[in-house]
Amino acid sequence: MHKQITYTGMIWLLAAQLVVMLPFVFDLPLWLIPVLLFAAGWRLRVLSGAALQPGNVTKALLIGLGIGGLVLSGLKFPSLDAMATLLLLGFAFKSLEVAQRRDAIVVIFIGYFLVALHFLYAQSITAALYGMVSMIVLTGALVGVQQSVAEFSAAQQVRFNLRLSVFMLLQCLPLMVVIFVFAPRLAPLWSLPMTTQQVKTGVADRMAPGDIEKLSQSDALAFRVTFKGRKPAQHELYWRGLVFNHFDGREWRQFEQDIDSQQVQSALLTNYRWQADAIKVQGEPIAYEVVYEKTGQPWLFTLTPAMEVDGEVLRGADYRVMARQALQAPFLLKAVSYPDSQRDLELAPELRQLALELPETGDARTRALAQQLWRETGTEQAYLDRVLARFRDQRFEYTLKPPTLGASDTIDAFLFESQRGFCSHYAGSFVFLMRAAGIPARVVVGYQGGEWNAAGEYLAIHQYDAHAWAEVWLTGQGWVRVDPTTVVAPSRTEQGLEAAMQAEGSFLADSMFSVRKIAWLNGIRQQLDTVQYGWRRWVLGYDGAEQAALLKSLLGTFSVQGVALLMGGLLAAIGLLWLVLLGMTPRREREALEHQLYRRFCAALAKRGVLREPGDAPGVFAAQAAEALPAVAGVIREFTQVYEGICYAPSADGQQATRRLKALLGQLK
C-alpha cells in the first residue's frame, strides 16, 4: 500500500522543484516558472481541500497548452533546448498529480537528472555551487516526503532534513572525487544541436562600421591566457581570429559568398589549407595555454603564426585557428607561436587575388587619392608610410561614438568627411587604400591586449578588447601587420582601451554599475576571477592528457594494472569509511542529554552528603534527598518531576525541558 504524501512533504517537493528549475530561465523560455507556480498552487489547494484533483480532461488540456507554448517558443526539433524544455514542462506538471510517496520520489529523481542537465548550459564555479545547493534541497525533499508526521517544530524539521541531506551527500564526496580523477575521459557518443536560443557572442564573421564598437561596451570575458615563459609586451598581443578579404562597399566578409562556419571549414581543408613551409620561422617562441569561454562560434584567437597547436582544431592559409565545432563549453588550447616569423614570402596567386579585390564602383574619391599618393611615392613602403602619415597629420579622431556613414561610399565618408571612427573604420579604409594602389592587403579581426591578473599570473581578454587591424603583403617581407589605429591613438595598443578613451569618458559607458570603476571592488573582482580561472583550468580542463600526466606522476609509469590497484585501494578505503559513518561497526551508544544531567544531579547531591543507591527510583531518591536537605527540597522535587516528564511523558518542546533541568542543576552547585 502506497502512503500518502503529507502537506509538509509537498512543500518540500515544490521548493525543490523551484530551486531546480530556476537556473534554466537564463537559457530556456521564461514562462516555465509561471507554469511551475501554477501547478504548485493548484496542488497546495488540493491538499488543503480548497480544490479538486485535476481530471484527465484537464490534464490533457494543460499538456496541450504546454506543448503549444513550446512550439510557439521557436525552438528547433531535435535540439538540446527543445528536449530540456519538454522535460522541464513534465517536471512542473507532475506536481499536479503527486499524491503518494511513489509519485514524489519520481519527481525528485527527475530533479537529480535536471541538475546534471544544467551543466550542459553552464560550467562555471557558480553553477557548480548552485548545483550542490540543488542537490541538498532535493535530498532534503527526499527525506521530507518519507516522514508521516512532524516529529519536531517546523524550524527544527527544516534543520533536521537539511542536516541529514548534507551528511548523506558528504558521504558520496570521496567516491565522486575518485570517479572524476580515474574514470576514462571518453568523447561523447552522440550530441543534440544547440539552437538559436544559445545566443552567439564575441567577434562576428563580418564587419561593418559600428560592429566592433558594440563589443567594446561589453566587459564579458572572451578567454584567458597563461604564458609558459616570457609574457609579451602589451603592444605585441594581437590575438588573431578572422581574416576579411571581401568588401561590398559597406561590409567586410571572409569570402564573397555568405557562407557558414561549416563551409569555412571545408574551404580551410581544400582551397586554403595550412602551409607550414610558407613560413620562415625566426625569433623567440611564445608558449601559452588559452581557455576560451563559450561563444556559440568556432573562432579561436592566437598569436600569429601558431606553429604548434595541441587540440582538435583547423588551421588555414590565412593563419587563422578554428575549432571543429562551435564552442558550447569552455575550450582549452595549447600553442606555441613565433610572432617574428616571415609569412608567405611568395604569395600564392589565389591569395593575391583575394587580397586585391575591390568593388567595381564606389568610393571614387578614395580611389583617386590612392592613385595620387602612389604617383607621388612609387614604392610600397613609401606609400604605406604616406597613408599612415595622412591619418596622423589630418587629426583623425579615435572614438567609440563615431557618426553614421550612410549606406554607400562609406570609405569616402570616413576619410574626407567625418574623420572620426573606431578601429574598424581605420583598418577597413587603410586596406581599401592599399588595394586601390595594387598592394595586397586584408583586414584581420580579433582582440588586442588584455588585463594582466597578477594574483593568478594570467592574461584576461574581454570583449572590449576586440580589435581590427590590417595586414599588407610587401615584397621581400611577406605579410606585415600594420595597425593604423596606433597612429591615431597609440595608447590603445600600449595601455588598452580604457586609457585610450579616458578623455572621452566612453569606456563601458553603458555599464553604469561596472565594478571596474571602483578600485577596491575591482580588486575583489580580480581575486574572484582567479578562482574562476583555476576552476576552468584544473576542473573543466581535466582531459585525457591531464589525467594521463597525473596518473603517471602518482604511479611512476602508467599501466592498467597500477590504475586498477590504486582504484581498488581507494574504493576499499571509501567502503570502510562508509561502514563507520553509517553505524555498521560496533560503537558506543551516546547517552541522552537528560540522563547526563540526572547523573550530574546525583553527583551534586552526593557532595551534600546524600547518596543514591543503585536500585532507588528517581522519585524515591528525591523524597529522601528532600527530607535530608530541606533548604533545596523544592529544587530537588522540581528537577525530578521535569526529568521524569522527559523520560515517560515527552512534550513537543523537549529543548525547553532540558534548559529547565540545566537551570535547576545550577541552583544546587
Q: In the chain, where are the structural domains located?
A: 7-149, 206-358+439-519, 593-668
> Where are the alpha helices (H) located in 408-452, listed in sequence order?
410-413, 423-436
156-191 burial: b if 16+ Cβ within 10 Å, else e: ebbebbbeebeebeeeeeeeeebeeebeeeeeeeee
3-state secondary structure of 315: strand
- pLDDT value of residue 269: 66
Q: What percent of the chain has pLDDT over 70?
A: 88
Residue 465: active-site member? no
Give the tens place of pLDDT for each residue, 228-277.
988 899 999 999 999 999 998 888 988 777 766 677 777 776 677 888 88
Give the tens place of pLDDT for each residue, 480-534.
999 999 999 888 888 777 777 766 666 665 554 455 556 667 777 778 888 888 8
CA distances from 206 to 241, 355, 428 (A): 12, 16, 12
Mean pLDDT of 625-650: 87
Cis peptide before 305 (omega within 30 of 0): yes
- pLDDT of 194 higher than 70: no
Contact 27, 80 (CB under 8 A): no
Mean pLDDT of 332-337: 92
Residue with cell 548534507: 166
Name the active-site residue from 344, 363, 465, 483.
Answer: 483
Calculated CA dihedral for residues 25, 26, 28, 30, nearest 10 degrees: 40
Residue with cell 564573397: 256
SS (H, E, C) 41-89: HHHHHHHCCCCCCCCHHHHHHHHHHHHHHHHHCCCCCCCHHHHHHHHHH
- pLDDT value of residue 1: 46
Name the active-site residue from 118, 246, 425, 467.
Answer: 467
Long-range contacts of 646-649, Cβ-Cβ distance < 8 Å, separation of 24 or more: 646/594, 647/594
- pLDDT value of residue 43: 75
The Cα–Cα gap between 313 and 316 comes to 10
- pLDDT of 56 higher than 70: yes
Mean pLDDT of 527-552: 77
- pLDDT of 437 higher than 80: yes
- pLDDT of 547 higher than 60: yes
Bridge-based pairing state of the strands 342-343 and 466-474: unpaired
Residue 2: active-site member? no
Q: What's the chain's average pLDDT? A: 82
Contact 211, 204 (CB under 8 A): yes
Higher pLDDT: 497 or 110? It is: 110
Higher pLDDT: 581 or 594? It is: 594
pLDDT confidence band for 138 (50 / 70 / 90):
very high
pLDDT confidence band for 196 (50 / 70 / 90):
very low
Question: Sign of the C-alpha dihedral, residues 289, 287, 262, 191?
Answer: negative
Cβ neighbours for 606, distance < 8 A, ≥ 6 positions apart: 612
Give the tens place of pLDDT for each residue, 271-323.
778 888 899 999 999 999 999 988 888 899 999 999 999 878 889 888 999 99
- pLDDT of 377 higher than 60: yes
- pLDDT of 148 higher than 70: no
Mean pLDDT of 397-401: 85
- pLDDT of 58 higher than 60: yes
Q: What percent of the chain has pLDDT over 90?
A: 25
Mean pLDDT of 579-597: 70
Residue 277: active-site member? no
Mean pLDDT of 448-463: 90
DSSP string, 196-251: TTS---SS-SEE-TTHHHHHTT---EEEEEEESSPPPPGGG-EEEEEEE-EE-SS-
pLDDT confidence band for 368 (50 / 70 / 90):
very high
Name the active-site residue from 219, 318, 423, 425.
Answer: 423
The Cα–Cα gap between 210 and 225 comes to 27
326 burial type by CB count under 10 A (0-12 exposed, 13-18 middle, 19+ buried): middle
- pLDDT value of residue 654: 66
| Residue type at 458 in one-letter notation | Y
Contact 410, 209 (CB under 8 A): yes
The length of the chain, given as a count of residues: 669
E strand or H helix at 551: helix 544-555
Among 228-232, 329-333, 372-376, which is the least confidently predicted range?
A: 329-333
Residue with cell 603583403: 473
- pLDDT value of residue 158: 81
- pLDDT of 198 higher than 50: no
Mean pLDDT of 366-374: 94
Give the tens place of pLDDT for each residue, 160-188.
888 888 888 888 888 888 888 887 776 65
- pLDDT of 422 higher than 80: yes
- pLDDT value of residue 516: 59
The Cα–Cα gap between 401 and 510 comes to 12
The Cα–Cα gap between 446 and 202 comes to 9
**By C-alpha distance, which of 333, 340, 441 is closest to 387?**
441
